[in-house]
Amino acid sequence: MEIYLDRLQAADAEALYQFELENRAFFEQMVPARGEDYYIPEMFNKRHEALLEEQAQGGSYFYLIKGKDHSILGRINLVDIDKSHTAAHVGYRVGQKHTGKGIANQALKLLIETVKAKGIKQIQAKTTANNIASQKVLEKNGFKRIATGSETFEMNGQQLHFIYYALTSLSG
């Protein structure tokens, strides 16, 4: 499937809200829940505006993963950009009906190419221990497992921990 990354814009709020609502239960199987407030339209819109401001300040890059028809297939974000150490953290999610098609893998490849030109030299990531698909996506894109969190947390009745990854071989 052909995809592209589209930088988050104010006009994306409604479509992104619908995407998040449609995929809420699916996402909450693999990542900690965002809380009820996130899904209140007014709160979502305020959060969207805050993300746009953060992006404008250069602290993060937020992208929508889109298909040829411009529909949202997922999202991928580069956050906590540390300009002095040229490092950042990546997070991504693909909608349920688009999983298993290589979209996360393609999106991460595109993001890596995009941020090389921005001076980012290291990207860090974390995923839950039960999210094998995300671990595979990271590893396919050159990320190395650097640590397993010692603290556990409960999610969906399971005791889980985070697994941490890093990609350090970036050069522009």
Phi-psi region of 142 (alpha: psi -120 to 50; beta: other; left: phi over 0): left
Q: How far apart are CA 135 and CA 129, in angstroms?
A: 8
The residues of the chain scoring below 70 in pLDDT are: 85, 155-156, 171-172
Q: Which fold has domain 3-119?
A: Aminopeptidase (3.40.630)
pLDDT per residue over 154-168, tens digit each?
A: 766 777 888 999 998
Task: Classify residue 86 by burial, with Cβ atoms within 10 Å: 0-12, 13-18, 19+.
Answer: middle
pTM: 0.89
pLDDT per residue over 118-139, tens digit each?
A: 888 899 999 888 888 899 999 9
